[in-house]
Structure 1
């Protein structure tokens, strides 16, 4: 079960597609975070969602907001995926221990070994303020993120 709004977001430290360490806590007090879990790089729905975010990037990466996208793919896979699709925001690898952060947020599919489509809007104090979880085949609506961010 996904963590609910009003819950303190579990902190984490993951490597991005360039091997850099990214910690959720680094954004506390400075920026809200759109934390987006997706099943797999190079798949149709995931590529579509992440490219839509790329195309609207100033809404999701600015002085007030940081987008962090997480999958259980290896950092090497994420690097190639990011370069191929022109994704200039952090693609974080929850590869090992496999799915540990997705589990912490309640969005790991044990049967398939990947993250579900879960999105968490986390405020500047580190509290989850909005969430949505979709099944693997169901894309999320970016407009919902924009609406949720306006309420912060």
Structure 2
């Protein structure tokens, strides 16, 4: 589902500490919104480690259907300081809004959406669950927005 050029669906989800975070609360800043299937898994581990090292002024928000408690344990173990948002209940509702929910597996596909300060999706990529994304593509997309 191509959403480039559309207003990003707003949402509110708890982060790994239980703090509610609303996408529209980041208006005025670019946002890199990264959906991933599950914490503590190999490909997700490598992708979030790359995000941890990613240098950007954009706000990074990651989302999976894991519970807030799972997100917290993983963030603490791996040293992730960006928000890990829980799309746990209603199960996958935000992932569905972005067209990245896999109904058969009950998980999010690997979708990334770069949203500008006005809330418009400027770039996106959606990969199957087993195929990693490249953070360098995010950097290029953000640079192209400048």
Query: Does residue 22 of structure 2 align to residue 20 of structure 1?
Result: no
1:102 counterpart (90, 95, 98): 95
How far does residue 3 in structure 1 lie from its aligned partner after superposition?
A: 4.2
Question: Hey, what does 1:113 align to over in structure 2?
Answer: 106
- Listed one character per residue, the Cα deviations across residues 96-146 of structure 1 (whole Å, up to 9, x for unaligned) are 000000000000000000100000000000000000000111100111000
**Aligned-partner SS, 1:138:** coil
Distance 1:76 1:11 in 2: 23
Extract unaligned runs of 5+ from structure 1: none
- Work out the number of aligned pairs and report it: 145
Distance 2:26 2:77 in 1: 27
Q: 1:3·1:105 contact (CA, 8 Å) conserved in 2? A: no
Q: TM-score, normalised by structure 1?
A: 0.93
Gap change, CA 1:3 and 1:103, over 3 Å in 2: farther
What is the aligned-residue RMSD (CA, Å)? 0.8
Question: Hey, what does 2:116 align to over in structure 1?
Answer: 123
Distance 2:60 2:8 in 1: 15
Extract unaligned runs of 5+ from structure 2: none
Distance 1:90 1:67 in 2: 7
Distance 1:27 1:42 in 2: 27
